[in-house]
Each structure stands twice: as C-alpha cells, then as structure tokens.
A and B are shown apart, each in its own frame.
Chain A
C-alpha cells in the first residue's frame, strides 16, 4: 500500500512495521484495534491468498476486493491510520526513520520534541 515513489518513501523505509510493533506493545494501544489488525491479516492471507511476492497489480486487486467486505474495509482503514502514524510521529516511536516522513512531506515538527514516549514525565 505504501511503495517507494519518486518523491516519497516506502513503508519499509519509514519503518511502519517497527513502529507498529513498538506502539502495539504499550498499554495505551487500543486492544480492539490490535485484535482487528491480527484477524484482518489472517483473513487476507488465508481467504484472499495474499502473498508478498505477488505483482503490484495482483496485490492491489486483492486489497480492493478485501475492501468490499466489512472487516476488510475496517482493517484497511486501521492499517492506513497506523501507517500514517508511523510516517509522521516522532522517530522515538521507531517509525519515521531519520525523519524521512517529515522531510519528504516538508513538515516541520513542533518544539519541544518528545524525549520520552507516550507522554511520560521526565524524571
């Protein structure tokens, strides 16, 4: 869903998976979302025969047909949401590596930037 383009990074480059693994392990992550993310991925693999080595067009076709189901639409929306979080959150959350998301979209973060994740206090 997020391939590398001329101007923008791929999900692999901005570390979307690393981000998701990191935030999903925190208490603050929505537990219903976590269930949905796992279940949707399972259905996509088992029932829609999604494989990583398919061609771009084949994958697009499968995702668009998955989108037509209720769970597919919900799952894709959540995946997009967390991928966009990975792209634009502070790199301390393990995504947006080297600020690649901010730089490629010419976004300037607010100051002060977080030194600790999840709003914890500096002790």
Chain B
C-alpha cells in the first residue's frame, strides 16, 4: 500500500511527487509511456515532429472531436483528421517538448467575473484563491524548476516577492535590440520573456547550449525545465519513490466516497493491474483526466468519479489567439546577423493585457521553428497550385537563406462555455476497450474579437519594424498543446468538481493537479501556473495528511 499514487508525470504531477517524496511519503507515479533521459533525445524531425512516437498511435488511441458544422454537431475521430490532442506520453509529459515561454497570471485573472462585465454565453468564474496565495509558488517554480529572465517594467506587472529571476536571461539574438528600439519608438514596453530554460548549470542539469531545435524536441542538456529534468530525476533513486512506466491508467475503483484503487494496464506485461494507496492524485492532462474520471463509474458515482454534480469535463478551455507571421530580410538588418541561429529573441509585448475595459492578452515574439521539412512544406503551394521542381527548390532555398519568418504568437482568454467540454461515448473505444474522450469544441466569438484586436496591434508593430508579407491567422481552432479546465476548482460543490485545494468535493482522497482545475486560463501559456498550483497542493497535503 502506497501513501500517494499519482497518475501522470508531467508539470501537474511532478511537483506533488517531488515534494511528498522529500517529505517521506511513500509515493508511486504511473506513467503510460517510456522514460527518456537527456541522452535518449535527438534533433530528429521525423521522430519528434512528423510521427506519433512519443504520443500514441492515433489508430490505437484517439479522440473524437465534435465541431459545429452546417447547423449540427459533427463527430470526427482524430485518426481521420490527424488533429492530435496528445502532447507527450513519456516521463515528464508534454513539458519535455514545451518551448518554455513562461508568464504568470495577473491578479485580476483570479477574479475575472468581478473585474469585468459578464459576457453572454461565457461561463466565467472567479478562482477560489487569490494571486497572493499563489505568488509564493510562482516564485518557488522560478527557483526549484528553474526560470531564467529579467524583470522588465510594463504597466500591468504582477507583484513579486523577489526582486528578480534566479537565473539571468539567456543569450539574445541581435534582432532583439531592433525590436526594443521599435517598441520604444511606438511607446510600447518590450518585456524580456521569462523562459523555463537554465542559463547556467544547476546540479546535474547543464545550461542551454542554444541548439536551435527547442520547442517540440526533448532537451539534451537538461537545461529545459521539464518536470522530468527539474523534478523527477532528482528523486528517482529515493527509496520511498516508485516510478512505473508503460502503466496506462484506465479507471479508479471507489468504495462509496473514497478511492480504493486505480486500475492500469501494464503495457509491457499486457496485464491489467491495480494499485492501492491512501491518496490519489490525478494529473494526466486536462482531456485525459476528465476521461479517466468519467470512465470510473460506480454505484456511488453512476456518472463517473467525483461527478455526482455533473461538472466533470465541463468548461474545457484552451488558449485563444493565433499568430501574426511576417518576413524579415536584409532590408531590416544585416543578413549575417539575421541568420545567426540558436540565440533566442525572448521578447513579449504585455502592454495589451488589458485594453480599456476589456481583457486583452499577450504576444510572444519568436522566429519560426527551424524544422526544415515543415518549412519546405510551408512553401509548396503558390495560389493554391502545388509547386515542384526548380520552382519549389528556389522558394525553399530563399526561405532557408535569404530571410527569416518572425512570428507574433498571440494568447488571449478562451472563454469557457457550455459547448466546450469532454464526455465519453461507449460507441467509441480505444484498443484497450475504454471509451475515448469526446471533445466538443466551440470557440466563443469574443475569443476571435480580442485575438483580432491584438493581431492588428502586432501588425502595426511589425510594419514599423520593417517586416514584409505580414499575415494574421486568428482562428476558432484551439491549439492542442494548450488545454486546461474540465475539472474546475471552486467553493460551490454544485458548480465545481474540486475545492480550493484541488481535492474533489465528493471524494475524500482524490486530488487533481494538472491544468484541469483552472476555471479560466489567463491570457498566457498555462505551464508556470500548473507547476505553481501543484506545489501549492503539495504543501496542503503535507500539512493535512500524515500517514
């Protein structure tokens, strides 16, 4: 019997494992994938970007996506659409493959409903905790997980308990100074983007070696602050810590209002097994966590575990926004400087986090990823005509050598609504005969409205910078790697699944600590907040439970 059994090993799971193991709890982590270490990763575009190697084969495990088309809800399995919502099923989860653009939420994000006018059709709710309650844990992530950067002023700068980041900023590409100059000319405050990447070594983790292949790839130096490199590898040899890989959790078994055991498939032995523990922590990623609860039906929980209030799966959110792309060539800066690879731009614009009486968002500025196959594929069409031969060769050569694509990635709130949720349908099962998650997706029109306001501001900025061929892409389609919500926390057990400490209202010994708890997502990537909240929950468990 374990004290604590944790389902998943990513950013929501690992702070719990790390803290509770250090505190002497007997901890087991169940991860459905393999254990890759620094030496196992490479910059192989085929393996990490173009095949499902570190995510399930979609013909074996998939999602069913429901979209509103021609007046009705249309279901498409993801093995048909290739729209993959899995993001990294190995130890450390998707954090292995993140780019690590880290931003804190703003204090007002914790009480959006009180701060702004209600929006029709949006289920906005205040958080049951304040920014001040989470702040010490944001700081802890900077130190323990590792964030590099330098605090830069902007009008909505979040209050900080420490003066600056524990790691200095990473080395910057020469274009950063052009961006700063342009921003200043326009009265914009450029922010040095905090990154979950070490700029100097710490213990067994080396500093960043500027490989130029960061996002989507595992890190070979340990600099990227994945849950694995930053947390799990530090406790892996502790006697009271067990990591079970290839362990695919299917459901929990509950006895009345507490979880007795978790059932999983040992994928190597091809056997169904169970594990008993005093406490269970679920952190399999927003969509899969909802699915596991919904598939865990019992006499006491006929709608799925912790779901007598019928809130599980509801109010799934993503990050809204999109991207404005542009080309930079030698008219803006010296071509040799422009073509310097590996160094980061690390600039964000956060002046538009609030726009008059509205919630706005942020823009991260970065070069397009280096991936040659992806970039070559991007130029293969000209006016809907497929190019090949010399014509295509010339375009690829130019894209690789004569210019660089600069992206302004826009993040704004994805409004939670009644038509964005996870459910299960017994007619659609994976190869393990478990119903897959059905994801109904609906983007509130307000998402695109704000996204377009931000995109237009980015276009002004890019024009001033001298960029060419500026195009904006603000769509109602969610980014599959930025998922949260579905298992909301809140004070009212009728309207939320979890209490303020992320313990299920209806279950005595179940916590959920991935991004599912978030009632609203802020206008930034979620990972820093997921890490911070998980450290907060770990402190609560340490205080409240002793075995």
Which residues on A are within 8 Å of B, measured CB to CB?
A: 1-3, 5, 7-8, 23, 27-31, 67, 73, 76-77, 80-81, 84-85, 87-90, 93, 102, 105-115, 117-119, 121-122
Contacts and interface: CB of A to CB of B under 8 A. Distances in A.
A88 B45 contact: yes
Given A8-B390, A80-B388, A85-B46, 9 more contacts: A27-B57, A84-B380, A88-B372, A89-B45, A105-B401, A113-B43, A119-B44, A119-B51, A121-B34
B341 A118 contact: no
Contacts of B25: none
Interface in B14-44: 34, 36, 39-44
Q: Which 9 A-B pairs have the closest CB atoms?
A: A110-B43, A119-B47, A110-B213, A114-B44, A88-B372, A119-B53, A114-B42, A28-B51, A1-B388
B220 interface: yes
Interface string B222-261: 0000000000000000000000000000000000000000
Nearest to B401: A106
B237 to A, nearest CB: 20
A107 B41 CA distance: 20
Contacts of A121: 34, 36, 40
Interface string B38-79: 011111111110111110010100000000000000000000
Interface stretch (B348-356, B392-400, B463-471): B392-400
Given A76-B386, A118-B47, A122-B39, A110 B53 contact: no
B396 A89 contact: no
Contact of B44 (A1, A81, A107, A113): A113
Contacts of A73: 386
A117 B401 contact: no
Contacts of A84: 373, 376-377, 380
Nearest to A76: B386
A76 B314 CA distance: 42
Contacts of A23: 46
A107 B400 contact: yes
B298 interface: no
B211 to A, nearest CB: 5
A28 B39 CA distance: 22
Contacts of B370: 110
Interface string B368-395: 0010110011001000001011101100
A76 B119 CA distance: 46
A107 B220 CA distance: 21
18 contacts: A5-B390, A67-B386, A80-B380, A81-B377, A84-B373, A84-B376, A85-B46, A85-B50, A87-B376, A88-B376, A90-B44, A105-B396, A108-B341, A110-B370, A114-B43, A115-B42, A117-B46, A121-B36
Nearest to A90: B44
B212 interface: yes
A112 B57 contact: no
B117 to A, nearest CB: 46
B393 A5 contact: yes
A80 B389 CA distance: 10
Given A1-B388, A108-B341, A90 B46 contact: yes
Contacts of B42: 110, 112-115, 119
- Best-buried of A30, A113, A119, A121 by chain B (most CB within 10 Å): A119
B461 interface: no
B217 interface: yes
Contacts of A80: 377, 380, 386, 388, 392
Interface residues of B, number: 42
A93 B396 CA distance: 21
A28 B58 CA distance: 10
Contacts of A110: 42-43, 211-213, 217, 370
Contact of A28 (B53, B341, B377, B400): B53
Contacts of A119: 42, 44, 47-48, 51, 53-54
A90 B48 CA distance: 13
A105 B44 contact: no
Contacts of A76: 386, 388
A66 to B, nearest CB: 11
A121 B372 CA distance: 23
Contacts of B52: 28
Contacts of A102: 372
A94 B455 CA distance: 42
Nearest to A112: B42
Nearest to B214: A110
A105 to B, nearest CB: 5
B54 A85 contact: no
Contacts of A1: 388-389
Given A1-B389, A117-B47, A122 B57 contact: no
Given A121-B34, A121-B40, A105 B50 contact: no
A112 B43 CA distance: 6
A77 to B, nearest CB: 6
Contact of B373 (A7, A28, A85, A115): A85
A112 B376 contact: no
Contacts of A111: 43, 211, 220
A119 B55 CA distance: 11
B373 to A, nearest CB: 5
Contacts of A108: 212, 341
Given A5-B393, A93-B46, A118 B51 contact: yes
